[in-house]
Chains A and B, each alone.
Chain A
Amino acid sequence: MVKYDTVIIGAGLSGLAAGIRLAYFDKSVCILERHTTIGGLNSFYRLRERNHDVGLHAVTNYAPPGTKTGPLSKLLRQLRLRWDDFRLCPQRESTVAFPGCTLRFNNDFQLLLSQIEEQFPAQRDNFQRLLNRIDEHDELSLNDVPTSAREIVAAEISDPLLVDMLFCPLMFYGSPTASDMEFSQFVIMFKSIFYEGFARPFEGVRLILKSLVRQFKSLGGELKLRSGVRTILSENQRATALVLDDGSTIETKNILSSAGSAETIRLCRGRTEEDAPQPGEISFVETIFSLDCQPADLGHNQTIVFYNNTPQFRYDTPDEACDVDSGIVCSPNNFQYGDRVDEGRIRITALANPDIWMNFAESDYIREKDSWCRRIVDSAVAHVPDFRSHVVDTDMFTPRTIKKFTGHLNGCVYGAPQKIRDGRTHLENLFLCGTDQGFLGIIGAMLSGITIANLHLLKTP
């Protein structure tokens, strides 16, 4: 007896969104999550009585209430949610800070335009031509030919500093590939960050996840935590069942996996390592500081600061454990929450080498974390007020932490370099969604689950 129409692997944003679509249209659907909580790469935890977000600094693709077009409104309609279910509060202002040059931007694109006119007057027309190319591109096409974004941008913009400053936030917030991006990914990120912009619910990512779970369960969907998938069984090119970590078996007509492409193929019985696509290698460490004051009390009002201290911006796996020359400073307090105030926080994210972090001996790991945490802050305080004497608690996660809790190989956060846009695999009823499908960011992750569910799992009555 076949039990489910679809089993979804992973209760992250993409899996939950796909689950809502399927449950809404009366499919029997079960989401399996290995971890004890939901969220995957965008999750949350509680430590020493403090709530922390993992992953999410800001939701990109912001649109104010009443907006009828764009990714956020599309998403809300597809999930039958209201704007208030995410309660997004827009950012104040963010910057891209390079040696000798800082560009400010917020959710009104005019600010970035005027900043570029002011600081790169010679690039004004070039930038307009780049915008035209961005506007003309259909970045959501499921079958487009990969092209280098570096080549396209450099063909329009002749000042390498401006090129790097445009790439820096887009790469940091979503590039699975070193040094360059695929042009469609560039366009998705450009629109989501510069055209639409940043926002965050006061309660953090847990509010979004809890809205999704509530909707999913109210439609009759089943969610099983602590239920890791060990093996996918198949027969004649079709998946037939899943074997869980505890040895039990679940039968299903279809499987939708958000575990990652390499990770999913490795679950399939009879597949060897060589059959699996290459997992991504771009990973990060993040240091989280709780403060005895608000960042604004120290004169820090920016929401996000993307910084780089070197003449040329480098986005690559560093040779050492971390790359302290560049990073992201996020102050979750600096969104427009009205009069609500939470404990002061500064989060700093930097590129990391997954191999080095995975291979530290247990006895060295804590010491290495402490030492890199200090070096990262030393570098970041060139761009934000020195907050070090106000720190009351510190936590840090590394590629090792990400692998442990999400199962993503290398603790990779933006997935494999090779995206599988149509979600197909070698088995005709096993599909992929999430980071390896290729829509990026918080909204993109949910749209990924929705798109693949619509394309493959909802067409048959």
Chain B
Amino acid sequence: MIAEDIRQVIIDILARIAPDEDLSDLQDDVAFREQMELDSMDFLDIVMELRKQYRVQIPEEEYEQLISMSSTVSYLMPRLKDVESPA
């Protein structure tokens, strides 16, 4: 997957976690927490969704890499580069 695919994967996960949220104007460099009020329960869910769908294991001390869209994408790039894009 390339960065663009990974971004879409994260958008899909966020849409499942918060189906009532409008994600079209999500800003990639601003923390999810600030834009969507995600709490620790929600971050755990992003981690578990990635594990469920792509078998990516993210150790607890690296959760902070998932703070915003751009940091999440760069963190996941090397880990998902050999995975086929879902679309």
Q: Which residues of A contact B (CB under 8 A)?
A: 25-26, 65-66, 68-69, 73-74, 76-78, 80-83, 454, 458, 461
* Complex contact A80–B19 (CB within 8 A): yes
* Complex contact B48–A77 (CB within 8 A): no
Secondary structure of the A contact surface, majority rule: loop
Bound: A360/B37 CA distance, A:
54
Contacts of B30 in A (CB 8 A): none
Contacts of A76 in B (CB 8 A): 20
Query: Taking CB as reference atom, which chain B residue is nearest A75?
Result: B41
Bound: A66/B20 CA distance, A:
7
Bound: A96/B18 CA distance, A:
36
Query: Taking CB as reference atom, which chain A residue is nearest B57?
Result: A461
Q: What is the minimal beta-carbon distance from B33 to any residue of chain A, in angstroms?
A: 11
* Complex contact B17–A77 (CB within 8 A): yes
* Complex contact A65–B20 (CB within 8 A): yes
Question: Which residue from B19, B20, B36, B41 sits with its C-beta under 8 Å from A78?
Answer: B41
Q: A25-B52, A26-B52, A65-B20 are in contact. Are A78 and B45 (CB under 8 A)?
A: yes
In the complex, which range does the number of interface residues on chain B fall in?
10 to 19
* Complex contact B44–A77 (CB within 8 A): no
* Cβ-Cβ contact count across A and B, 8 Å cutoff: 31
26 contacts between A and B (CB under 8 A): A25-B48, A25-B52, A65-B20, A66-B20, A68-B36, A68-B37, A73-B37, A74-B39, A74-B41, A77-B17, A77-B18, A77-B41, A77-B42, A78-B41, A78-B45, A80-B16, A80-B17, A80-B19, A81-B19, A82-B20, A83-B20, A454-B41, A454-B44, A458-B48, A461-B51, A461-B57
Secondary structure of the B contact surface, majority rule: helix
Contacts of B41 in A (CB 8 A): 74, 77-78, 454
Given contacts A25-B48, A77-B45, 15 further A-B contacts (CB under 8 A): A25-B52, A26-B52, A66-B20, A77-B18, A77-B41, A77-B42, A78-B41, A80-B16, A80-B17, A80-B19, A81-B19, A83-B20, A454-B44, A458-B48, A461-B57
Q: What is the minimal beta-carbon distance from B47 to any residue of chain A, in angstroms?
A: 11
8 A Cβ contacts from B11-33 to A: 16-20
In order of increasing CB-CB distance, the 7 nearest A-B pairs are: A68-B37, A82-B19, A69-B37, A77-B17, A83-B20, A77-B18, A80-B16
Contacts of A73 in B (CB 8 A): 37
Query: Taking CB as reference atom, which chain B residue is nearest A83?
Result: B20
